[in-house]
Amino acid sequence: MNDFISIPIGDWAASGLDWFKDAFEGVFDVVSFIVKMLVEGLADFLVAIPSPVLILVFALIGWLVRSWQLALGTIITMLLVVAMGQWENAMLTLALVLIAAVIAILIAVPLGILAARNETFSLIVKPVLDFMQTMPAFVYLIPAVIFFGIGFVPGVFATVLFALPPGVRFTELGIRGVDSETVEAGHAFGSTPGKILRGIQLPLATPTIMAGINQVIMLALSMAVVAGMAGANGLGKEVVAAIATLNIAQGVEAGLGVVILAVFLDRVTAALGNPGEYKNSLLSTVRKRRINARRNEVAEAKAAIRPATPAGM
């Protein structure tokens, strides 16, 4: 009975993947070369910089967009990563996450904009995103390893696929959430759809889009750990090795490094979406000083043009 109703979907999928690999082998070689060059180039750059210098840069970024408290926390936690001997692995993971997140965002934002402006495309892409978000993370490694072998490249490929859906959904949500009367006012003034998108919809949707980018980065970091199973160097590979050898100390240190990177990236990207909410950031301080300087200039200009009061009046 089981043989009678058996449907070999797995065999069909394997045959399809094999055909796809043979048909687009040249494309995969080019993609593999470019992605490998980008990730390894960024990883070599981050590792080549002395850790104290890079920690200060991270702390400055945290203070610039959020607060001095984040800067102080960044210094303390990053020094902990150095003290655990996981600094180089953390920079390899950071390089993989940044490249994968940039690729995912470059794909997700245009797709989200298209979905917001085209109902048919939105209806088509939604079930695809549902399928991608319910797919177990490990499954993404199967086509990644088939197409690109092992190393950084399959890790980036799997990470992009895994992190892509929130970027599309939040971009569509942000564009659709823009007040329709504001958009109609843009049409009334004769603006083209492109100008309305750049001048009205994208600026007003920025907080929602940034929330999606934050989710993309967080998912990319979680998938980067799983990508260690595909041979991608970094903290993920350390975690996989710790599980294989039951090395608790190695697993705890690598896992703690992932958490520290996740907290830093989450706080920074969240602050970029709503810069006005963080009054203790350097950007906010500079903005306040500029506003006060302009007010003083306006007050001085008004005082200079005010007619002098006649004596005895």
CATH at residue 71 = 1.10.3720.10
Model pTM? 0.82
Other Cβ atoms closer than 10 A to 95: 25
Q: What is residue 170's predicted lDDT score, i.e. its pLDDT? A: 92
Instruction: State how far the Cα of 82 lies from the Cα of 295, in Å rounded to an integer.
Output: 47
Q: What is residue 59's predicted lDDT score, i.e. its pLDDT? A: 93
Residue 239 within any structural domain of the chain: yes
Residue 58 within any structural domain of the chain: yes
Instruction: State how far the Cα of 187 lies from the Cα of 184, in Å rounded to an integer.
Output: 5
Residue 306 within any structural domain of the chain: no
Residue 136 within any structural domain of the chain: yes
Residue 236 within any structural domain of the chain: yes
Q: What is residue 182's predicted lDDT score, i.e. its pLDDT? A: 80
Greatest pairwise CA separation for the chain in angstroms? 114
* Listed residue (164, 131, 156) closest to 38, CA to CA: 156
Asked if residues 253 and 85 have their Cβ atoms less than 8 Å apart, the reply is yes
Q: What is residue 310's predicted lDDT score, i.e. its pLDDT? A: 56
Instruction: State how far the Cα of 282 lies from the Cα of 280, in Å rounded to an integer.
Output: 7
28-38 core/surface letters (b: 16 or more CB in 10 A; e: else): beebbeebeeb
Q: What is residue 169's predicted lDDT score, i.e. its pLDDT? A: 92
* Both structure tokens of 308: 């002098």
Residue 174 within any structural domain of the chain: yes
Residue 86 within any structural domain of the chain: yes
Instruction: State how far the Cα of 143 lies from the Cα of 154, in Å rounded to an integer.
Output: 8
Residue 80 within any structural domain of the chain: yes
Total number of domains in the chain = 1
Q: What is the mean pLDDT of each run of 10 residues along the chain (313 residues)?
A: 71 83 84 88 91 93 89 93 91 90 91 90 91 84 82 86 90 87 79 81 86 87 80 84 86 89 87 75 80 80 66 50
Instruction: State how far the Cα of 185 lies from the Cα of 115, in Å rounded to an integer.
Output: 22
Sign of the dihedral defined by the CA atoms of residues 263, 268, 270, 274, in that order: positive
193-228 core/surface letters (b: 16 or more CB in 10 A; e: else): eeebbeebbbebbbbbbbbbbbbbbbbbbbbbbbbb
Instruction: State how far the Cα of 220 lies from the Cα of 235, in Å rounded to an integer.
Output: 13
Q: What is residue 233's predicted lDDT score, i.e. its pLDDT? A: 83
Q: Write the burial class of residue 159 (CB in 10 Å: 0-12 exposed, 13-18 middle, 19+ buried).
A: buried
Q: What is residue 156's predicted lDDT score, i.e. its pLDDT? A: 87
Q: What is residue 309's predicted lDDT score, i.e. its pLDDT? A: 55
| Containing structural domain, residue 164 | 24-274
Instruction: State how far the Cα of 217 lies from the Cα of 274, in Å rounded to an integer.
Output: 17
